Amino acid sequence: MQFKRYARISFVQEIGRPWLTHLLHGFKRDLGIRGLTVPAAHLADEVFYSAVFSMALGQEGLPETLVETLHAIESMANAEGHDRLLRAVEESQIGLVLDPNLSPADLAVQVWLVAPVLFAEKHNELQFNRLASFEYYGGCHPMDFPELFQTPDAATLALMKADLDAWFRSHNRGEQHTFIQAFEMDGEVWFLIRHGDTFTHLPTAADKQRVVILHFRRTKDDVLVYNPERHELRVHAGTKAERDLYVQTFGSRVFANGGEFSERQGYTLAPLLTDGPEALNTHDVSGVERIVLREVEWATDNDNAEVTIRKANDLFATKAARRFPRPGTAATPRLARALFDFYFSDSSKPQRVQVRPPGTVHVGHHCHARLVHRWLTKRGFRVPGPEGQNSQELAHGQPVAGA
């Protein structure tokens, strides 16, 4: 990724010296190429960590491979990452004996050292589950035999990478930084797209009251997900330009049609109106305990563009939910957005999920995104194919069934 510095070097102090030493020795050759050596084991803690800081802040900086590894380890050095790695070690039966006094950072380093493939798998899962929002795009031509779709091979991924590299270079994201990896999960193909972001200058406090300016390019992770059954893409990216880039590139390189996924479609809130409280049923989605409707937004498509928002701890427990506006004239309010609380089996704290038709789903950073999408599909919030746009007519106010 062409990093000159590691952005949060203070993190290494969260790694115990024995594990940090093991980690650094794994990059001994790369460090040597830059004229750097692993600090001696006999040094006092203060001197040892100071030496690591000096390497990271020096003219050459740390090797890019080590910086990438530190970023990955840091992202798993928290309670969520700790529990995910611990459970994975127990289930994998790799025979790793863990000290109960390991910090989350120590555990992350140990799993990375002993079982790097397992670490990478859990790291990618966590990154996917932390995604905040997706935009949905439907294909223009139906897939006659979706079960025959094959994950793009290395040659196709290389062509996609070249396309993305060219765009990122011309938009000040660095040169030849793109990394694409494909995963098959739940009948879908997930593409992790890691690339450089815009350049950053960061003032950092150093020793003896000095201020050091770090010059570096951050990594940025975006995700593209293809569902063969629905011939649909969903994209998580920071900007509209990046989303458009991924959609065009995927269509061009995988389906020989850059405009294949040009339809913004995907979701409707009609089940809230037609099914009432039954729309929140979770009986057939393992891992989701219950769901509460917390907020709805009504929009009127007139010159005044009126918007009305209703909030409650449980909207279906209020009388107002029984008197949603009825359909009629063009001035009839349209159900434009809904906010839900999702209660998952592994947590007592609810996670927020927002749906805004036709194609945006926003989930919390610690939400189980795959379970959310599974539930939305089963309850009819997900609209398949080109019918998605017609279904928006149902989002206009009407009596609520069962309320």
Residue where a domain stops, chosen among 129, 144, 160: 129
Among residues 124, 249, 139, the alpha carbon closest in space to that of 185 is found at 124
**Shortest CA distance to 17 belongs to which of 68, 58, 51, 59?**
51
Domain membership of residue 17 (yes or no) is yes
In a domain, 3, yes or no: no
Whether residue 169 sits in one domain with residue 48:
no
**Domain-embedded: residue 197:** yes
Shared domain check, 29 and 106: yes
**Residues 152 and 166 placed together within one structural domain of the fold:** yes
Same domain membership, residue 137 and residue 123: no
Which helix (H) or strand (E) segment holds residue 285: the answer is none
- Whether residue 191 is found in the same domain as residue 306: no
Mean pLDDT by groups of 10 residues along the chain of 403 residues: 51 86 91 90 87 76 83 85 87 78 88 89 70 77 85 95 93 82 84 79 59 64 87 86 94 93 81 91 93 92 81 84 54 85 87 87 73 90 58 42 40
Same-domain check for residues 219 and 234: yes
390 and 284, same domain (yes or no): yes
Residues 338, 251 within the same domain: no
Residue ending a domain, choose from 84, 101, 129 = 129
Task: Point out the domain boundary residue: 129, 152, 187.
Answer: 129
The total domain count for the chain is 3
**Angstrom distances, CA of residue 398 to CA of 79, 145, 338, 387, 403:** 45, 38, 16, 20, 12
Q: Is residue 400 part of a domain?
A: no
Rg (Cα) of the chain, in Å, rounded? 25
In a domain, 402, yes or no: no
103 and 226 belong to one structural domain: no
Angle separating helix axes 17-25 and 64-76, nearest 10 degrees: 140
What pLDDT shows up at residue 6? Answer: 53
Q: Does 252 reside within a domain?
A: yes
What pLDDT does residue 212 have?
61
Please enumerate in sequence order all residues whose Cβ is within 8 A of that of 397, keeping only pairs 6 or more positions apart, or say none. Answer: 273, 298, 324, 325, 326, 327, 332, 333, 334, 335
Q: Does 4 fall in a domain? A: no
For residue 123, the enclosing domain spans 9-129
Other beta carbons within 10 Å of 331:
11
Q: Considering only CA atoms, which of 131, 84, 121 is closest in space to residue 104?
A: 84
Residues 171 and 249 in one domain: yes
| Predicted local distance difference test score (pLDDT) of residue 8 | 61
Residue 211, pLDDT score: 63
Domain annotation covers residue 274? yes
Residues 238, 310: one domain? no
State whether the Cα torsion 71-74-80-83 is positive or negative: positive
Do 260 and 138 share a domain, yes or no?
yes
